[in-house]
């Protein structure tokens, strides 16, 4: 913008105006479209005297604005540069980690509330970083998505989780495993091929595999997503909708996509017993999910109070620290072994 009268503070207002304007839903034919907007700004001469430098710096600020969740603006600053350099390092470390296979999969048991037995697990990835130690997914999955590396990591996780679950089957534990999948993996169009190959290589029965998607997976290329999910389901693989109730919660997804399982988001579980409204929302999710013939899993179950309420609602399965944190495969094997050799059922009353 070449304008002598523009300064830092009115520029901010100006950008916010642009963001607001573009965020309004608009119609293209019969479709209503929503745009997200992020803006990165560099100023002449503070942030550079050459055009290319200014553009690079604005681009770094833009990436930062996106990382903050989008729909915001950000000025370039040396902090932005420092963070970006850190990101670049992390990104190249992630690439190496894929080669060196530094990812480990933890498993969190899922308990069936009818039998009080472990019926499944959720596979949750961790990065065994050579110097930083064991990193939780929150510290690298978003970056992996941004850098286009999530499909490669996802494939490693799928392979490990299927192999491990088949091993449990061989030991006589007929449990299923859910694996988290992001939109990017579906959009690439080769997920079916990858899963078919992994099922053959690991020997896992597809009936014991579940994929967890969030609503963001349903936002783009709906036809591709629907046909992929239908083919997966045709193989006996279950589809779960993760973090249900957050995001856009457009209920038409429940009708338009083949979903077998709803996973109520932890934020609702944490609020059980806090206000009548909170409880009513959870009740409504159960009534709706069950009337659509879906199984309902509650995650983030931390207290006996949560559990009692969920039982009363006819919750099918629970997962949470009350039962176990995500643990390495050997520890879960020990839990399964103990369960079958211990006649007293887990005390979850």
Residue ranges that bind Mg ion, judged by CB under 5 A: 180, 212, 242-243
Q: Which of the listed partners (ligand C2E, Mg ion, none) does 157 bind, with a CB threshold of 5 to 8 Å by partner kind? A: ligand C2E
Q: Which member of 253, 299, 315, 316 binds ligand C2E (CB under 6 A)?
A: 299
| CA atoms of 177 and 208, how far apart (whole Å) | 6
- Considering only 72, 326, 332, 335, the residue that binds ligand C2E (CB under 6 A) is 326
HSE, side-chain direction, 13 A CA sphere, residue 208: 25
Helix (H) or strand (E) holding 257: none
Note the Cα 173 to chain centre separation in Å.
27
Q: Which stretch binds ligand C2E (CB under 6 A): 10-18, 133-141, 191-199, 275-283?
A: 133-141
Q: Is residue 45 reached through a cis peptide bond, with omega within 30 degrees of 0 on the bond before it? A: yes
Binding of residue 302 to ligand C2E (CB under 6 A): yes
Residue 27 φ/ψ, nearest 5 degrees: -105, 135
Residue 161 Cβ vs ligand C2E, minimum distance, rounded to whole Å:
8
Among residue numbers 174 through 233, which ones bind ligand C2E (CB under 6 A)? 180, 182, 212
Q: HSE, CB side, 13 Å, CA atoms: give it for residue 328.
A: 7
Interface residue with ligand C2E, options 118, 243, 244, 318 (CB under 6 A): 243
CA dihedral sign of residues 201, 107, 306, 218: negative
**Which residue stretch of 30-38, 65-73, 134-142, 339-347 sits at the interface with ligand C2E (rule: CB under 6 A)?**
134-142
Cβ nearer to ligand C2E, comparing 173 with 270: 270
How far is residue 269's CA from residue 252's CA, in Å, rounded to a whole number?
A: 23
Q: Which of 120, 154, 245, 289 binds ligand C2E (CB under 6 A)?
A: 154
Helix (H, G, I), strand (E, B), or coil: what is residue 172? coil
Angle ∠(35,40,44) on CA atoms, nearest 5: 145
Nearer of residues 141 and 336 to ligand C2E, judged by Cβ? 141
Told to check if 135 binds ligand C2E by CB under 6 A, we report no
Phi and psi at 23, nearest 5°, equal -80, -15
Q: Of 138, 172, 276, 347, which one interacts with ligand C2E (CB under 6 A)?
A: 138
Q: Site map for ligand C2E, 50-89, x if CB under 6 A?
A: ----------------------------------------
Q: Which residues contact 78 (CB under 8 A, 6 or more apart)?
A: none
Angstrom distance (rounded) from CA 287 to CA 235: 28
- Quick one: 16 or 145, whose CB is closer to ligand C2E? 145
Nearest by Cα to 328 from 137, 37, 125, 101: 125
What residues line the site for ligand C2E (CB under 6 A)? Answer: 108, 124-125, 136-138, 141, 150, 154, 157, 180, 182, 212, 242-243, 266, 299-302, 319-321, 326
């Amino acid at each position: 913008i070449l304008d002598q009268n523009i300064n830092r503070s009115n520029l901010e207002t100006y950008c916010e105006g642009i963001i607001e304007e573009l965020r309004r839903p608009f119609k293209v034919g019969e479709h209503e479209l929503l745009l997200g907007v992020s803006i990165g700004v560099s100023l002449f001469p503070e942030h550079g005297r050459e055009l290319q430098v200014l553009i690079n710096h604005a681009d770094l600020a833009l990436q930062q604005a996106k990382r903050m969740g989008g729909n915001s603006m950000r000025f370039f600053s040396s902090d932005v540069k420092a963070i970006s350099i850190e990101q670049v390092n992390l990104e190249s470390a992630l690439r190496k980690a894929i080669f060196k296979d530094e990812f480990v999969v933890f498993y969190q048991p899922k308990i069936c509330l009818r039998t009080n037995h472990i019926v499944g697990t959720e596979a949750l990835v961790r990065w065994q970083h050579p110097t930083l130690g064991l990193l939780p997914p929150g510290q690298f999955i978003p970056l992996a998505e941004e850098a286009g590396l999530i499909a490669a990591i996802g494939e490693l996780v799928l392979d490990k989780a299927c192999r491990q679950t088949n091993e449990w089957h061989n030991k006589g534990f007929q449990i299923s495993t859910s694996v988290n999948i992001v939109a990017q993996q579906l959009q690439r169009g080769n997920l079916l091929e990858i899963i078919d190959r992994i099922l053959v290589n690991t020997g896992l029965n597809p009936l014991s595999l579940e994929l967890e998607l969030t609503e963001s997976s349903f936002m783009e290329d709906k036809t591709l997503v629907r046909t992929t999910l239908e083919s997966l389901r045709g193989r006996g693989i279950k589809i779960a909708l993760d973090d249900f109730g957050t995001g856009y919660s457009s209920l038409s997804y429940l009708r338009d996509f083949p979903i077998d399982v709803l996973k109520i988001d932890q934020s609702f579980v944490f609020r059980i017993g806090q206000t009548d409204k909170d409880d009513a929302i959870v009740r409504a999710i159960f009534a709706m999910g069950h009337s659509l013939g879906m199984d309902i899993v509650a995650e983030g179950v931390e207290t006996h109070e949560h559990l009692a309420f969920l039982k009363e609602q006819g919750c099918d399965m629970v997962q949470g620290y009350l039962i176990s944190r995500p643990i390495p495969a050997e520890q879960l094997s020990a839990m399964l072994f103990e369960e079958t050799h211990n006649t007293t059922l887990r005390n979850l009353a």
